Amino acid sequence: MTDITPDQPARHRDGADSTIWSVMLLVSLVALVIFGLYTKGNSTFNLVLGVVATLAIFSILYKENPVFRFFEHIFIGLAAGYGAIFVWVQYIMPKWYIPMVPATMYHKSVDVQGGGQWWLIFGLLIGLLFFTVYIPKLSWMNRFVLFGLMGYSAGATFQGFMGLIAPQLTASFRPPISGYDHPAAGGAGLNDIHIGHLYFHTWWLISIIVLICTFAYFFFSVEHRSRLIRHPAAAGRYFLMISLGAIFGTTVMGRLSLLIARLDFLRVAAVTLFHHGPK
């Protein structure tokens, strides 16, 4: 909810203040629409549209340019429009409007039970209070409903904490020495050390040490002066670096997969358009 006042200087983008670029891009958009109508949205047109969209977005990699900005704004518009209409058709209509309006007033044939639940109107009325944020005199109503929902979420946080974290706490307390042999730790192929009829679970001990050291690193209620807390905190920092490196490695894999899929689309499009020919 930002205000752009006339006194604020506009952000400068390549070609943003160029009339020629504005006209060219808008004319191209119109041409694309006319071409789509002419081809009746056949598969070739959709493929070409996909390639144009991909290359336009990738153009930012070379440098900032008006084509990228133009397509970026089209993307934001399409995403916003899709979100709005999807929620309306898939959720608001079947779960609010149809149950609320009596069957005699709703003329389309929909095989749904219910109807006439007039009290659902309060869902809209209370929901409309969110929009009072745009009216400064009434904006306290927005805080009223927002804080109510935050209170409701806060009440559920205890439940969430017990559901999510309590098992983590119990899983952390494992005896380093027990009378049971456990399967190879985490697939690393390392077994427990067998001493008489007891088993020494090396990796559980290491896991507890790493856990405590990481806690020590983030424990700021006490100053890190004493050796009892300073050394574990230092070790915790090193363990944290190892974990961050692991996160980076998996992130690289995740991000590259997206690029690979996109480039594969371009490859398939090239083969389809140039090898098989337009349909």
Partner 1 sequence: MFVLAIALSVLVFVGIMALLHQLSPRGKKWITILFTFVAGLYFMTEYFWPVHHIKDPEGNSIMGNFLTNSISPVSEYIQLILIWTIGLGIISLSIVHGQRLLKRMPGWHNSLAFFLAMISFIVIGYISHLGKVPAVGAHKDFLLGTVITYKTLYGFLVNLDSTMFALLAFYIASAAYRAFRVRTVEAGLLMVSALIVMLGLVSFGVWLTSGIPADSAWAFFRFERLYSWLMNWFNMPVQRAVAIGVAVGGLAMAMRIWLSLERGSFFSQEK
Partner 2 sequence: MEKFLRQLQSLDRRWIYLVLSIVLIITLIKSYPDKPIVLPSVQHFYDAVDQAPAGPGQGKIILVNTLFAAGTIAENGTQMRSLVRHLMLTHKRFATISVGEPQGATYGPAIAGDLAKQYGYEYGKDWIDFGYQFNTLAFFMSFPRDIPGQIKTDGQENKPITSFPIMQGIRNINDVAMHVEITASASVYDWMQYVQPKSNPRLPIGYACTGVMAADAYPYLDSGQLIGMMPGLKGASDYEALVDKLQTQEEAAGHVKHHYDPNAITSIPAFPPPARNLMYSQSAAHIVIILFIIFGNVGLLLSRRLAKKSAAKEEA
What is the per-residue DSSP string for 239-275?
HHHHHHHHHHHHHHHHHHHHHHHHHHHHHHHHIIIII
Which stretches of the chain are assigned E, i.e. beta strand? 177-178, 193-195, 198-200
Quick one: what does residue 112 bind among partner 1, partner 2, none, with the CB cut-off 5 to 8 Å set by partner type?
partner 2
**How many whole angstroms separate alpha carbon 230 and alpha carbon 264?**
51
Q: Which of 10, 20, 105, 258 binds partner 2 (CB under 8 A)?
A: 258
Q: Does 34 bind partner 1 (CB under 8 A)?
A: no
Q: Does 257 bind partner 2 (CB under 8 A)?
A: yes
Q: Give whichever of 123 and 197 is closer to partner 1, judged by the CB atom.
A: 123
- Identity of the residue numbered 171: A
**How many whole angstroms separate alpha carbon 161 and alpha carbon 145?**
24
Q: Which of 64, 72, 181, 264 binds partner 2 (CB under 8 A)?
A: 264
CA angle 249, 252, 254 (to 5 degrees): 110
The pattern of x and - marking residues 113 through 152 that bind partner 2 according to CB under 8 A reads x--------------------------------------x
Give buried/exposed letters for 39-69 (b at 16+ CB in 10 A, else e): eeeeeebebbeeeeebebeeeeeeeeebbbb
Q: Give whichever of 197 and 234 is closer to partner 1, judged by the CB atom.
A: 234
Q: Which of 94, 151, 175, 278 binds partner 2 (CB under 8 A)?
A: 94
Q: Which helix (H) or strand (E) holds 51?
A: helix 43-58
Segment 36 to 65, residues that bind partner 2, using CB under 8 A: 46, 50, 61-62
8 Å CB contact between 198 and 219: no
* Closest distance to partner 1 from the beta carbon of 14 (Å): 10
Segment 144 to 203, residues that bind partner 1, using CB under 8 A: 144-145, 147-159, 161, 164-165, 168-169, 171-172, 185-190, 203
Q: Report the interface residues with partner 2, using CB under 8 A.
A: 46, 50, 61-62, 82-83, 86-87, 90-91, 94-95, 110-113, 152-153, 156, 159-164, 167-168, 170-171, 186-187, 243, 246-247, 250-261, 263-265, 267-268
